[in-house]
Every structure is written in C-alpha cells, then in structure tokens.
Amino acid sequence: MKTTLTTKVGANGVLTVPLNEEAANKTVRVTVETMGEGDSPPPTDHDAWLRFIEKTAGSIGDPTFERQPQGKVEERDALP
C-alpha cells in the first residue's frame, strides 16, 4: 500500500493520518515535508478541481508550444 496525503498540522502540532483497514496493525513509513508559502495543495473536492482547471486552462504562454502526435488507438475485439 502506498498513499500520498496533503494535510495540515493542527494548532497543537499534531498530525492525523487517516488510513484504511488494509494498513491496520502494520508498520508504516511516514515522511513529512513542509510546504512553502507559494506551494498550494492539490484540490480536494470537485468544485476546487474545476476552479483549478479554469485557472490553468490556456496558461502556456509559449506560442510555439504544440501537442505532440498521440499515435493510433489500438483496435480491440468487441465485447460479447
């Protein structure tokens, strides 16, 4: 099991890490890295995700930037 979580440490300095039952009674490794003032955590709800997309859409200012060819879609057998 590997989980990445972005959360805030409480005012009392306690960090709570919620895990699922799969991690119960197992030893885990926790790495803590503080985030800078300019860093923002990823959106955690649907509305925040939509605001993030609206904010970043069209943000590449390089006029020579273009999407590279994506290749062909693999042909698959039809489902029965």
Q: Which string of DSSP letters, residue by residue, matches the chain?
A: ----------TTS-------GGGTT--------PPPTT--PPP-SHHHHHHHHHHHTT----TT--PPP--PPPP-PPP-
pLDDT computed for residue 58 by the predictor: 81
Q: pTM value?
A: 0.33
AA identity, residue 23: A
Segments making up each domain of the chain, as ranges: 1-58
pLDDT computed for residue 75 by the predictor: 92
pLDDT computed for residue 77 by the predictor: 93
At 6-65, the pLDDT tens digits run: 777 888 888 887 777 887 888 878 787 777 776 666 677 888 888 888 888 888 888 899
Closest by CA to 2, choosing from 41, 25, 29, 32, is 29
